[in-house]
A and B are shown apart, each in its own frame.
Chain A
């Protein structure tokens, strides 16, 4: 079945450590997105990518980095510069970039916690 796979489901980070969250899709979608969700809050956009080798900052990009070397993959690195990384991270994809009339399809999420 086509879909979006995020791994790992749970991730623990030590202070000062970078960690990378994986997101893979086999939907042949051009656009991919990373969102952060904090308890009781909506989704905030971290980064998005409309095509391979291109990505744009979202509303809360500081302390995060991404790459888009393949259409199927959009990994997110949470760097040590992100002072409050504990959150639920959701990856999404869509057929056309940045919304338009197409819904975004979401992965199951990765829950990141600080040790």
Chain B
């Protein structure tokens, strides 16, 4: 069965600190996709990034970077020089096939608070 674990329930940092959000996934599928979403206080989930299982190249987008390591089944998300506007709940998600078909699974989320 598919599973996504985000061990950090809540993280607090002071503005300008770097912070890494952990994501560990489980799947037996060899072709799968990983996603990160941001949920600000307003409630809607905002798509941040997608990564497929064949592309282990790390990605950087401004202050955001993602580290995909297949060997440890991890897809960690780092925010550099955090800002108050980064305060949100961040979800990691996995899309993969199991015995019942394609499945999209969200992790429990990590609440990030960036203090001024």
- Write the residues of chain A forming the contact surface with B, with a CB cutoff of 8 angstroms: 35, 40-43, 45, 88, 90, 92, 97-101, 103-109, 111
**A-B complex: 4 closest residue pairs judged by Cβ atoms:** A99-B95, A99-B104, A106-B45, A109-B43
CB–CB B9/A40 < 8 A: yes
Interface of B is mostly: strand
Segment from B13-21, B57-65, B73-81, B105-113 that makes contact with A: B105-113
- Write the residues of chain B forming the contact surface with A, with a CB cutoff of 8 angstroms: 9, 33, 35, 37, 42-47, 50, 52, 91, 95-96, 101-104, 106-109
On chain A, the residues within 8 Å of B44 by CB distance are 90, 106-109
CB distance from B59 to the nearest CB of A (A): 15
Interface of A is mostly: loop
CB–CB A98/B104 < 8 A: yes
CB–CB A100/B106 < 8 A: no
A97/B95 contact (C-beta < 8 A), A42-B107, A88-B43, A108-B44 known: no
**Nearest neighbor of A97 in chain B, beta-carbon distance:** B102
CB–CB A100/B109 < 8 A: no
On chain A, the residues within 8 Å of B102 by CB distance are 97-100
On chain A, the residues within 8 Å of B108 by CB distance are 40-42
Among A42, A106, A107, find the residue whose CB has the most chain B CB atoms closer than 10 A: A42
A108/B95 contact (C-beta < 8 A), A98-B103, A101-B50, A103-B50 known: no
In the bound assembly, the distance between CA atoms of A3 and B73 in angstroms comes to 33
Which of A88, A104, A108 is the one whose CB lies under 8 Å from B104?
Answer: A104
* A-B pairs with beta carbons under 8 Å apart, 30 shown: A40-B108, A42-B107, A43-B45, A43-B91, A45-B104, A88-B43, A90-B44, A97-B102, A98-B95, A98-B101, A98-B102, A98-B103, A98-B104, A99-B33, A99-B96, A100-B95, A100-B102, A101-B50, A101-B52, A101-B95, A104-B45, A104-B47, A105-B47, A106-B45, A106-B46, A107-B44, A108-B42, A108-B43, A109-B43, A109-B44
